[in-house]
Structure 1
Amino acid sequence: MFQSSIYNIQKRNNDILLLPKQEHKYTIVWLHGLGDSALGFSDLFLSQQHNLSNPQTKIVLLTAPTRPVTINGGMEMTKLVRYKIFRQILY
C-alpha cells in the first residue's frame, strides 16, 4: 500500500488512518468531495513535499458510502451529504 517515515498506516474498509509514530497530540478528520475517496487524498498527506501536518498528528481520511446522486441522474457515487440544489454563490 503506502510507506511513511512518520506514520503507521492502517486501512479500515475504505478509510485510511495515518497514525503518528510520535506521541499523538492532534487529529485531522478529512472529508472529501462528491465522487472522491480517502485514497484520492492519501498522497497529499504522505508527501514530504506538502508537509501538511506535524509528526504528532493523527489523520483520518474518510470515504463516504456509495449512493445514488439525484443531480447526476441517479448515478452512484461516494457522497457525504444530500445535494438538492446547486446555486451560484456570488461574493
Structure 2
Amino acid sequence: MRSCQEITKLISKSIDHPLPWRTSIAVRMHIILCRLCNAFRRDQLALTDRLAQESERVREAEKDPNIRLSADAKKRLANAIGSRLL
C-alpha cells in the first residue's frame, strides 16, 4: 500500500490532471481505508471549489465600472500574489 504522503501528492495532482486508472484505483482504495487522507481529499476539493467561486466573483467585479484600481495598485497586488494576471 502507498504511503499517506504519496497519496496526498496524488490527490493534489488529480485535482488538475486525471490519474492513470491503476493509480486512481489505488488512491480510492487508500482513502476508503484512511480517514486522514479522505479528509485531505475533501478539503482539497472544497478549496478548489471555493477558489473557482472566488475567481468568478472577481471576474464579475471587474465588469463593474464603479470598481477601478490604479495601475500602481494593480502592480502592488500582482507583486504581492506573485501573479501577472492583473
Q: TM-score, normalised on structure 2?
A: 0.25
Bigger helix fraction = 2
- Structure with the bigger RCO (C-alpha within 8 Å, sep 6+) is 1
Larger radius of gyration: 2
